[in-house]
Amino acid sequence: MAYITEIEIIKRKILTLLSKKMFEGTLREEIRDISEKISPDRAQPFRCCVYHDREITNDRIKIVLNLDHKKYKNVSWAETYDDFFEGQTDNLPILSVLEEACNGCPQQRYYVTEACQHCLAHPCALNCPKDVITIENGRAKIDQDECIECGLCVKNCPFNAIIQVNRPCENACPVDAIQTDEQGIARIDYDRCILCGRCLTGCPFGAVVERSDMLKVIRELTEGKKLTALLAPSIVAQFSVKATVPELTTALKQIGFDKVYELASYAAITAEQEARELEGKKGKLLSSCCPSWVYYIEKILPDFRENISLTPSPMKVAGADKKSDELLVFIGPCISKKQEAEESNIDYVLTYEELASMLAARDIDVSLCEETVPDMAGDYRGWLFAKSGGLTEAVQNFLAAPEEFDVDKVDGIDSGLERRLGKLVNDVDFIEGMACENGCIGGPCTVTNPRITKKKLADFIEKIR
Amino acid sequence: MKIRICLGTCCHLMGGSDLYSYFEEHCEKNGRDFELETPSCLDYCNRADYEAPIVEVDGEIYDRVTVEKFKKILEQG
């Protein structure tokens, strides 16, 4: 995973400031000041001026409140906050493009770079089927209006001097769900979107935004409601490279959670059920616990729909076990769980980024907390779910005769998978599908580099095995 | 060279974990005389003139340390 950029830092600063004021009960009065704190007068603006930067921050805040920023453009902050507090919501999509922040990057284009040697042969122009490459002052030039983007010039240039430039969001999207409107602004095609979150981390202008339950959760916490935190297995090392789950349990109780459950205990139930299902079905089963993977099959390759396991994901198992007097808060690494929660009896979803912002806002250093045993401890086979290949290992552990089943995995959905999956399904009995590379520890809303998480997770599993 | 990367929650969230990851991957085994400490919160992020993530190198405090800035600090040292 790449190092974090200014985009993530700004997003996290906004979340931290919002949490801080929400916890302190001063958000209504101080929400208007947040954009100025993010872009103070002396700061170097990212866009034309700090006022533009602040406007975009204000739009982001409204999206976090789940309110339509366009509708609320000329509404006072007090009124906006009151609407949020009274439970008004514009039901924004989980992921959307903030038009004002979208750069409208040029779509797929071919450019001649400085590396052009003005050669005598100029095979670029010679092989162009539309004759749109001319040689000016010895340098090749592409007429962008006439270019049909066939790419032959790229293939034929002996210096690799012609490059293809794509929009970063389109490049990042594995399912071709990013389109462009007449103004050149990116749009998400929700009929194809699988909520993997690649565009969220892929846009270098931070124009893809997600809605959040964070402020609602803080409100419930401060009002003393009984909230239970469900910790996804990839949570190891997300809040400090040296903090333990028992230390995190204390931190969560300090900010007001009533109970803390390790989802790994429910994940073991999923693994066992999936093993029974595989034995009963005698093969050709696709795992069901990564919602983006399930959406991928349903939307992009529906022919394989009937192969998706009917076993509920660990989050769904937890939802089915919900007590009447508790609110369940799933804490995890991804966007798509926000969608799955709506079908799973789960009240709220927080990402690691959001929870870390809440802990930072309360000045809680997880590694300094005392250790408290979680109210429900996990099974090591459940913790395995956090990494690519782990789910398979857990399922195999529950099979009576694991050697009878051939298994394979999809470690991150890419644009070529559409062509490969048929053969994959044909060749094996069980496929573990994970939308993110490395599995959940590589999720779009993780805080810690998966290289570190992988190591810490292995140590942790070794310890409890 | 004594390096302390603050790994309090705020610094961790704002990129401290990347500095730790970078250090682990590139500095630990290259033979240079680095000594790494990962203290809990160094308590600078709450001061008005400092912004997370914080790194202390031989007693000197650096703030808003990106991986880019961190590389330069290590090279100069």
CB-nearest to B17 from A357, A368, A447 is A447
Question: How would you write chain A as a 3-class SS string?
Answer: CCCCCHHHHHHHHHHHHHHHHHHHCCHHHHHHHHHHHHCCCCCCCCCCCHHHHHHHHHHHHHHHCCCCCCCCCCCCHHHHHHHHHCCCCCCCCCEEECHHHCCCCCCCEEEECCCCCCCCCCHHHHHCCCCCEEEECCEEEECCCCCCCCCHHHHHCCCCCEEEECCHHHHHCCCCCEEECCCCCEEECCCCCCCCCHHHHHCCCCCEEECCCHHHHHHHHHCCCCEEEEECHHHCCCCCCCCCHHHHHHHHHHCCCCEEEECHHHHHHHHHHHHHHHHHHCCCEECCCCHHHHHHHHHCCHHHHHHECCCCCHHHHHHHCCCCCCEEEEEECCCHHHHHHCCCCCCEEEEHHHHHHHHHHCCCCHHHCCCCCCCECCCHHHHHHHCCCHHHHHHHHHCCCHHHCCEEEEECCCCCHHHHHHHHHHHCCEEEEECCCCHHHHCCCCCCCHHHHHHHHHHHHHHHC
Query: Which residues in chain A have Cβ-Cβ distances shorter than 8 Å to B22?
Result: 3
> What whole-number distance in Å separates Cα of residue A90 and Cα of residue B43?
40
Residue B62: left (phi > 0), alpha (psi -120 to 50), or beta? beta
Q: Is B39 on the interface with A (CB under 8 A)?
A: no
Q: How far is A11 from chain B (nearest CA, A)?
A: 10
Q: Which domain holds residue A129?
A: 109-165
Q: Is B41 on the interface with A (CB under 8 A)?
A: yes
Name residue, tokens 């570190």.
Answer: A452
ipTM of the complex: 0.92
Q: What is the Rg, in whole angstroms, of the alpha carbon atoms belonging to chain B?
A: 11
Given a cut of 80, whether residue A255 has pLDDT beyond it is yes
Determine whether the interchain pair A452/B24 forms a contact, defined as Cβ–Cβ distance below 8 Å: yes
Query: Which residues in chain B have Cβ-Cβ distances shorter than 8 Å to A367?
Result: 7, 40
Asked if A332 contacts A217 with a C-beta cutoff of 8 angstroms, the reply is no
- Is A414 found in the same domain as A315? yes
Query: Which residues in chain A have Cβ-Cβ distances shorter than 8 Å to B20?
Result: 241, 452
Name residue, tokens 């209006």.
Answer: A145
Determine whether the interchain pair A9/B14 forms a contact, defined as Cβ–Cβ distance below 8 Å: yes
A-to-B residue pairs, Cβ atoms closer than 8 angstroms: 66
Query: Which residues in chain B have Cβ-Cβ distances shorter than 8 Å to A359?
Result: 9
In the prediction, which pLDDT does A444 show? 96
Given a cut of 70, whether residue B41 has pLDDT beyond it is yes
Q: Is B26 on the interface with A (CB under 8 A)?
A: no
- Report which of residues A242 and A98 the model is more confident about: A98
Which of A178, A211, A244 terminates a domain? The answer is A211
In the prediction, which pLDDT does A106 show? 83
- Is A307 found in the same domain as A373? yes
- Is A197 found in the same domain as A59? no
Most confident of A104-108, A426-430, B33-37: A426-430
Q: Is B10 on the interface with A (CB under 8 A)?
A: yes
Nearest CA in chain B to A4: B15
Average pLDDT over residues B34-55: 85
Query: Which residues in chain B have Cβ-Cβ distances shorter than 8 Å to A250?
Result: none
Asked if A112 contacts A162 with a C-beta cutoff of 8 angstroms, the reply is yes
Domain of A365: which CATH number?
Answer: 3.40.50
- Report which of residues B42 and A290 the model is more confident about: A290
- Is A218 found in the same domain as A255? yes
Determine whether the interchain pair A447/B67 forms a contact, defined as Cβ–Cβ distance below 8 Å: no
Determine whether the interchain pair B40/A368 forms a contact, defined as Cβ–Cβ distance below 8 Å: yes
Mean pLDDT computed over every residue of chain A: 95
- Is A87 found in the same domain as A204? no
- Is A189 found in the same domain as A157? no
> What whole-number distance in Å separates Cα of residue A379 and Cα of residue A398?
13
Determine whether the interchain pair B13/A16 forms a contact, defined as Cβ–Cβ distance below 8 Å: yes
Determine whether the interchain pair A360/B21 forms a contact, defined as Cβ–Cβ distance below 8 Å: no
- Is A419 found in the same domain as A321? yes
- Is A327 found in the same domain as A311? yes
Query: Which residues in chain A have Cβ-Cβ distances shorter than 8 Å to B28?
Result: none
- Domain ranges across chain B: 2-76
Nearest CA in chain B to A16: B10
- Is A62 found in the same domain as A202? no
Given a cut of 80, whether residue A294 has pLDDT beyond it is yes
- Is A284 found in the same domain as A407? yes
Which of A150, A182, A211 terminates a domain? The answer is A211
- Report which of residues A248 and B73 the model is more confident about: A248
Q: How far is A239 from chain B (nearest CA, A)?
A: 6
Q: Which of B13, B20, B26, B44 to mutate to test the interface with A (most CBs of A within 10 A)?
A: B13
> What whole-number distance in Å separates Cα of residue A334 and Cα of residue A321?
22
CB-nearest to A449 from B10, B21, B38 is B21
Domain of A141: which CATH number?
Answer: 3.30.70.20
Determine whether the interchain pair A367/B7 forms a contact, defined as Cβ–Cβ distance below 8 Å: yes
Pairs from B58-66 (Cβ < 8 Å, separation ≥ 24): B58/B1, B58/B2, B59/B2, B65/B15, B65/B19, B66/A3, B66/B15
Instruction: Give the residue among A333, A302, A337 at the shortest CA–CA distance from A319.
Output: A337
- Is A446 found in the same domain as A310? yes
**In this structure, is the dihedral angle defined by the CA atoms of residues A97, A102, A104 and A107, taken in order, positive or negative?**
negative
| pLDDT tens-digit readout, A59-89 | 999 999 999 999 999 999 999 999 999 999 9
How does DSSP classify residue B53? S
Determine whether the interchain pair A240/B18 forms a contact, defined as Cβ–Cβ distance below 8 Å: no
State how many domains chain A has.
4
Determine whether the interchain pair A13/B12 forms a contact, defined as Cβ–Cβ distance below 8 Å: no
| Structural fold of domain B2-76 | Glutaredoxin (3.40.30)
Average pLDDT over residues A126-136: 93
Determine whether the interchain pair A353/B13 forms a contact, defined as Cβ–Cβ distance below 8 Å: yes
Q: How many helices (H) and strands (E) does chain B have?
A: 3, 4
CB-nearest to A367 from B40, B46, B66 is B40
Given a cut of 70, whether residue A363 has pLDDT beyond it is yes
